Structure 1
Amino acid sequence: MEITYAPLLLWLLVGHVIADFPLQPLSWVQDKARHRARSRLLVLHALIHGAVAAWVVAAFGGIYGGITAVGVLAALIFISISHYLIDLIKVTLLRQLQHVGGFLLDQGLHLLMLLLLWLFVTPNAYMLTAIAALPVTGWHIGLLALAYLLIYMPMGILIGQFLARWTPQMPPSAKADDDSLLRAGKQIGYLERTLILTFVLIGQLPAIGFYWRPNQSFALVIYAKVMTKCVPST
């Protein structure tokens, strides 16, 4: 039997990252934390995840065949409900966990649900161990897309939560003044991660050193400016 369904798991992961980060504004996250079970945006967010998963399953079935309408409907219902319940648990029962622990547990549960969905809709799920043998147009393109998606918002959020205890809190007056500076630092972080991953993928590891050395000075300037705003004047 040919390996045709293994890339579906990877594209489900890509869809999850897109729906959970670029398609979820910060205001939605704050609304979920504030209103919890009463949050309409929590319901909308879960439905978006279900719709994205169903679209991925339907598109993949249209290309390779073997996936029925039941599988597409199962993706819509199962992912919508499971994502709603997991996010609801996160904003209620998991509020006491540290940010990093809660983030990793939340994402781990979501990935487990995607794996269960994949096992349900995939006729040859037992061939998961042979994913690495897939042609470039299947596995490798999906892995490349997932890698670039992960280094942006998910990795940025994880790093921010991990370093939160050592990050100085800016006074409200300074936050307004330095909002553009912080946004610039965020974009620089995106650019840095993009370049580093690209250098790694093309095998140009020495280029990372040539890029990083002069860039350190600019990063230190931004950090120094932020720190001066955080330290109260005497």
Structure 2
Amino acid sequence: MPELTLLAILILGHVIGDFYLQPSGWVKQRLAKHYKSEDLYYHVAVHGVITLCAFVLFSKQGVWACLLYSLIVLFSHLLIDLVKSYSKQNTVTFLCDQLAHLLIIVAVWAMATGKLTELFSLLSVQNISYQQASIAIGYLLVLKPSSIVITMLLQPWSKKLKNEAELSATQTDGDLQSAGKRIGYLERILILTFILLNQFSAIGFLLAAKSVFRFGDLSRDKDKKMTEYVMLGTLTSFTITIVVGLMVTGIASQLPMGK
């Protein structure tokens, strides 16, 4: 469809303009000088030109309409990047920045193609089905609730290992503890996604990959108790996520499981 082609080109232009046509020096200067940075205006000008070219080449809009939509993208990009330059630079800021840019692009595309009403209708909460809600619940369950359950189930063994040197060193290191928690989150998100996509073989690959990287180090330390503890935690995490995934898939029966 021509409309979707235009949207894809606009997003492609944003990716090229933000990540391939923006030197690191421009970013550093924007963070240091904010609105006084000349490179900030060069950067948004690049996005304006890319957007204008996309509308001229891939839409049936008139010249003035193409120019108007390009200016909307340009000034919105300027405002978003300016706000970002005053914010703390971390992953959340980066994701919010990119999401804001993409929302503006989609909104401009919807205005240009006359699909603004359809877009608002699509985003209406009244259109959320019980299948979609069950999938959202599934992803939420495999994050923090599952971590709490796993911690409770492993508590008898974790107490026994608490006084051992290696485990104590790990627990006193907040960064490593936080990293382990995030690894567990990502692991369970991947498992649930594979189940919903009916890719059970990928779960076996994930378990094998984790065994190679994790258990290989432990075996070199000849720490049998620690190896068994990690194995127990991994299998518990996998089991909980698989059970949740099967329940969610059973509810959202239109998904490809069993087909």
Normalization by structure 2: what TM-score? 0.46
Aligned partner of residue 102 in structure 1, secondary structure: helix
Match of 1:47 among 45, 48, 61: 45
Provide the secondary structure at the position in 2 that maps to 1:24.
coil
> Any idea what SS the aligned residue of 2:99 has?
helix
Matched-pair contact (CA < 8 Å) for 1:5–1:124: no
- Cα distance between partner residues in 1 of 2:75 and 2:24: 22
Q: Where do residues 6-155 of structure 1 align in structure 2 (5 Å cutoff)?
A: 6-61=4-59, 66-92=60-86, 94-95=87-88, 99-124=90-115
> What amino acid does structure 2 have at the position aligned with 1:115?
V
- State how 1:212-227 maps to structure 2 within 5 Å: none
Q: Report SS of the residue matched to 1:67.
A: coil
Q: What are the residue-to-residue correspondences of 1:149-188 with 2, within 5 Å?
A: none
Q: Give the aligned residue type for 1:10.
A: A
Shift of 1:6: 2.0
Conserved? CA contact 2:73–2:104, under 8 Å? yes
CA distance, structure 1, for counterparts of residue 118 and residue 100 of structure 2:
23
Deviation at 1:71, TM superposition (A): 2.4
State whether residues 86 and 109 of structure 1, in contact with CA within 8 Å, keep that contact through their aligned partners in structure 2: yes
Considering only aligned residues, what root-mean-square deviation do their CA atoms show, in Å? 3.8
Distance 1:123 1:11 in 2: 17
The number of residues matched between the two structures is 149
CA contact under 8 A between 1:11 and 1:56: conserved in structure 2? yes
Cα 1:166/1:22, change in 2 over 3 Å: farther
What is the SS of the residue equivalent to 1:5?
helix
Higher relative contact order (CA 8 A, sep 6+): 1
State which structure, 1 or 2, has the greater radius of gyration over its C-alpha atoms.
2
- Go from structure 1 to structure 2 and tell me whether the alpha carbon gap of 1:83 and 1:23 turns closer, same or farther (over 3 Å shift): same
Q: Aligned partners of 1:86, 1:29: CA distance in 2, in Å?
A: 13
Letter in 2 for 1:107: Q
Going from structure 1 to structure 2, the CA distance change for 1:166 and 1:58 (only over 3 Å counts) comes to: farther
Which residue identity is paired with 1:71? A
Distance 1:7 1:100 in 2: 30
- C-alpha change, 1:43 and 1:166, in structure 2 (3 Å) is farther
Per-residue deviation at 1:79?
A: 1.1
Deviation, structure 1 residue 27: 0.6
Confirm or deny: 8 A CA contact 1:79 1:113 kept in the other structure. Answer: yes
After TM superposition, give the deviation of residue 58 of structure 1 in Å: 0.8
TM-score by length of 1: 0.50
User: What's the CA shift for 1:75?
Assistant: 2.5
CA distance in 2, matches of 1:100, 1:54: 30
The structure 1 segments of at least 4 consecutive aligned residues displaced by more than 3 Å after TM superposition are: 123-129
Q: Which runs of 5+ in 1 are unaligned?
A: 130-164, 168-205, 207-212, 214-234
1:68-91 Cα offsets, whole Å, 9 max, x none, are 112210122111111011000001
Whether the aligned pair in 2 keeps the contact of 1:50 and 1:76 (CA below 8 Å) is yes
Deviation at 1:127, TM superposition (A): 6.7
CA drift at 1:125: 5.5
For the residues of structure 2 that align with 1:21 and 1:14, how far apart are their CA atoms?
11
